[in-house]
Amino acid sequence: MMKKKYDLTGKTALVTGGSRGIGQAIALALAEAGADIALNYRSRENEAAQVRLKVESCGRRCTAVQADVSVAADVSRMIKSVEETLGVVSILVNNAGIASRRSIEELTEKDWDETMAVNLKSVFLVTQAVLPAMRSKKWGRIINMSSVATQLGGIIGPHYTASKAGILGLTHAYASQLAGEGITVNAVAPGLIETEMIAGNRHTQPARIPVGRLGSPQEVAEVVVMLARNGFITGQTININGGLYMS
Ligand code: NAP
């Protein structure tokens, strides 16, 4: 009885930015937990195709859909394509993001607008697109990728930190309004996870992390799977940062 309740078999999960890094690990972990996977990517078609093969080798169905999640028309096309191929989305992981490092002096309006659109507006657009189906089924899980930057200021710049803090506001707004409808909405706040995003950033200093190393994408993914299974955690931020920030 308990097993059935926590089983993700037959559910469709959409992972934005699933072609590499943390998103790839989340897609694979959700597939191992039983979900069919819709993988979104922006430009790395070959990498997305590799992840699709790995998901399929777990015995799950998978589709990879190109879309810029900061563009409403792309998001509508993506959701239509996913619904036609795999059915409605029950688990949404808003993971896609960019991190262009800028000093206070370098930061331009263009940087600000682009970062807000890709990291924050996208969460609103994709959530808005999947919510009608979740509400009609009275079951849904939305997991948004924030960052330890919201707590510590971060190593990318004010634009990035503000976009990730905005995600916490969206998470709380949706969580409080949807709690009575079987839909949970949570944020995950990783810190210094070994991916391309932080590679080469000279401010990435593992020695400053209390556990003494960078985190792995899999360590984030297992928390996302836990949130996808759990129906009583909502409106929370789960910190995965090796003790860099203690809440
Ligand atoms: P990554 O390795 O740079 O991967 C970024 C992913 O996002 C790629 O799949 C990329 O697609 C996709 N993407 C970027 N812009 C997009 C757009 N406009 N539309 C659709 N997809 C887009 O990054 P990561 O380190 O895995 O980070 C994943 C998430 O975790 C991000 O939101 C990031 O801010 C957050 N995060 C990361 C860390 C860290 O230490 N790594 C810490 C805290 C939070 P393509 O492959 O097609 O380019």
CATH number of 73's domain:
3.40.50.720
Ligand 1 pocket, residue 69 CB under 6 Å: yes
pLDDT of residue 3: 54
In a domain, 195, yes or no: yes
Which residue among the candidates 6, 41, 160, 245 is catalytic per the annotation? 160
Residue that has been written with the tokens 């078609």 in this structure = 45
Ligand 1 pocket, residue 98 CB under 6 Å: yes
pLDDT of residue 203: 79
Ligand 1 pocket, residue 43 CB under 6 Å: yes
Nearest ligand 1 atom to the CA of 71 is: 18
Six token digits for residue 139: 């079951």
d(CA 170, CA 238): 15
Around Cβ 154, how many Cβ atoms within 10 Å?
A: 20
Six token digits for residue 240: 């995965």
Long-range contacts of 219-223 (CB under 8 A, 24+ apart): 219/193, 220/22, 220/25, 220/26, 220/188, 220/190, 220/193, 221/22, 221/25, 221/26, 221/28, 221/29, 221/30, 222/29, 223/188
pLDDT of residue 1: 47
Give the closest residue (by CA) to ligand 1 atom 35. 145
For the chain, what is the largest distance between any 2 Cα atoms, rounded to a whole number of angstroms? 58
Cα(197) to centroid(ligand 1), Å: 7
d(CA 29, CA 8): 11
pLDDT of residue 204: 82
d(CA 136, CA 212): 46
Q: What is the pLDDT along the chain (247 residues), one digit of tens a residue?
A: 455 567 899 999 999 999 999 999 999 999 999 999 999 999 999 999 999 999 999 999 999 999 999 999 999 999 999 999 999 999 999 999 999 999 999 999 999 999 999 999 999 999 999 999 999 999 999 999 999 999 999 999 999 999 999 999 999 999 999 999 999 999 999 999 999 998 888 778 888 899 999 999 999 999 999 999 999 999 999 999 999 999 9
- Domains identified in the chain, total number: 1
In a domain, 125, yes or no: yes
| Enclosing domain of residue 47 | 12-240
In a domain, 16, yes or no: yes
Nearest ligand 1 atom to the CA of 42 is: 47
Confirm whether 160 is a catalytic residue. yes
Coil, helix or strand for 183? strand
In a domain, 111, yes or no: yes
d(CA 247, CA 21): 25
In a domain, 181, yes or no: yes
Ligand 1 pocket, residue 99 CB under 6 Å: yes
Ligand 1 pocket, residue 29 CB under 6 Å: no
Given ligand 1 and candidates 68, 95, 101, which is best to mutate, with the most ligand atoms within 8 Å of its CB? 95
Ligand 1 pocket, residue 47 CB under 6 Å: yes
In a domain, 1, yes or no: no
Ligand 1 pocket, residue 154 CB under 6 Å: no
pLDDT of residue 73: 98
pLDDT of residue 201: 80
In a domain, 232, yes or no: yes
Nearest ligand 1 atom to the CA of 117 is: 18
In a domain, 23, yes or no: yes
Nearest ligand 1 atom to the CA of 196 is: 2
